[in-house]
């Protein structure tokens, strides 16, 4: 691909993620009905290229903390970067570019699930600036605190519907990958939530594939509000107790454990000296770590825990 064609493709992707950020933030503000997003435009520190826009909403009626971030960053391929990406280019060779949108929503009501999603694009270049590799990755996953099966079925169905036109074999694969990835392996593979879809390194091998994968990412990004907002609308006004809130905060502890110990995006951002505030916006505002806590067998809390321990097919 010629450099000017690569730039046009890259610019189209950047335009898409910024438009998606605007659309999602507008919808979330309307759903919350009170709080608004604060916009934080940032640039990487001197010597590292690019920047982004972090949009954060806190202490809303529905969303206790919501972050919707876009980053457009680039730089030299250092030895540390190559190790993180698991690539074998020789020392000092080439550069990289990455652009994506990432969101995490933590809710006030413990009957409304938390949710995470991201869609990203990555390029590697040789010394002359020619693209030598490029790929897409992303996904979305739901983290309930209480099990409402119809909510989980709806979330999975919306992403299955978005993915099926690109191959009916893809949703089962990406659903399985999501179950395996968002798992606290240090807790006997207990999932942090009830899954969704996850895919990584979808390689762009030619221009036809570039067009197809761009459309695939668009379909997934555009499915997010349809997948999540109906669940929020069903659950946000349900009455809840102090005990329900305590369980929410205990489960948030599992969320924190996964993000700090296992999440590739968090590890990548920290190891490549990314912007700490934007990376750690994924963490919930309040959390409890209770020693050796086990919910009462057969309780509503235990039903959620058993679902996290034993993944199932939702659609």
Would you kindly state where each structural domain of the chain is located, as residue ranges?
3-309
What pLDDT is recorded for position 45? 75
What pLDDT is recorded for position 79? 76
Return the CATH superfamily for domain 3-309: Coproporphyrinogen III oxidase, aerobic (3.40.1500.10)
Question: Which residue ranges of the chain lie beneath pLDDT 50?
Answer: 91
What pLDDT is recorded for position 12? 97
What pLDDT is recorded for position 88? 61
Q: pLDDT (tens digit, 9 = 90+) per residue, 88-133? A: 655 457 889 999 999 999 999 999 999 999 999 999 988 888 888 9
What pLDDT is recorded for position 82? 74
What pLDDT is recorded for position 68? 98
What pLDDT is recorded for position 270? 80
- The reported pTM is 0.94
Q: pLDDT (tens digit, 9 = 90+) per residue, 45-97? A: 765 789 999 999 999 999 999 999 999 999 888 777 777 676 665 545 788 99
The answer for residues whose C-beta is within 8 angstroms of residue 40's C-beta and 6 or more apart is 53, 54, 55, 56, 277
The two tokens of residue 89 are: 């280019």
The two tokens of residue 237 are: 């006004």
Catalytic residue list? 116
The alpha helices in the chain, defined as continuous H runs, are: 3-32, 79-85, 149-163, 170-181, 207-235, 242-261, 264-271, 276-279, 300-309
What pLDDT is recorded for position 6? 80
């Amino acid at each position: 691909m010629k450099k000017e064609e690569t730039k046009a493709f890259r610019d189209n992707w950047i335009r898409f993620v910024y438009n998606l950020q605007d659309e999602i933030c507008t919808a979330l503000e309307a759903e919350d009905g009170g709080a608004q997003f604060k916009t934080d435009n940032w640039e990487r520190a001197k010597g590292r290229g690019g920047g982004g826009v972090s949009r954060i909403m806190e202490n809303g009626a529905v969303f206790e903390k919501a972050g919707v971030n876009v980053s457009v960053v680039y730089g030299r391929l250092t030895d540390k970067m190559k190790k993180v990406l698991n690539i074998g280019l020789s020392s000092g060779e080439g550069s990289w570019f990455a652009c994506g949108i990432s969101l995490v929503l933590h809710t006030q009501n413990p009957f409304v699930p938390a949710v995470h999603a991201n869609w990203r694009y990555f390029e590697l270049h040789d010394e002359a600036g020619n693209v030598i590799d490029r790929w897409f990755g992303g996904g979305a996953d739901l983290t309930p605190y209480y099990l409402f099966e119809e909510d989980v079925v709806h979330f999975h169905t919306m992403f299955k519907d978005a993915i099926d036109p690109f191959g009916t074999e893809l949703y089962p694969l990406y659903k399985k990958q999501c179950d395996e990835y968002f798992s606290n392996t240090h807790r006997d593979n207990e999932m942090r939530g009830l899954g969704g879809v996850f895919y990584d390194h979808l390689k762009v091998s030619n221009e036809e594939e570039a067009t197809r994968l761009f459309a695939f990412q668009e379909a997934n990004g555009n499915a997010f509000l349809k997948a999540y907002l109906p669940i929020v609308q069903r659950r946000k006004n349900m009455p809840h107790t102090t005990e329900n809130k305590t369980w929410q905060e205990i489960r948030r502890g599992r969320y924190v454990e996964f993000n700090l110990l296992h999440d590739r995006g968090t590890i990548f951002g920290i190891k490549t000296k990314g912007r700490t505030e934007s990376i750690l916006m994924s963490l919930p505002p309040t959390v409890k770590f209770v020693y050796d806590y086990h919910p009462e067998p057969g309780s509503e809390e235990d039903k959620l825990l058993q679902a996290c321990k034993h993944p199932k097919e939702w659609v």
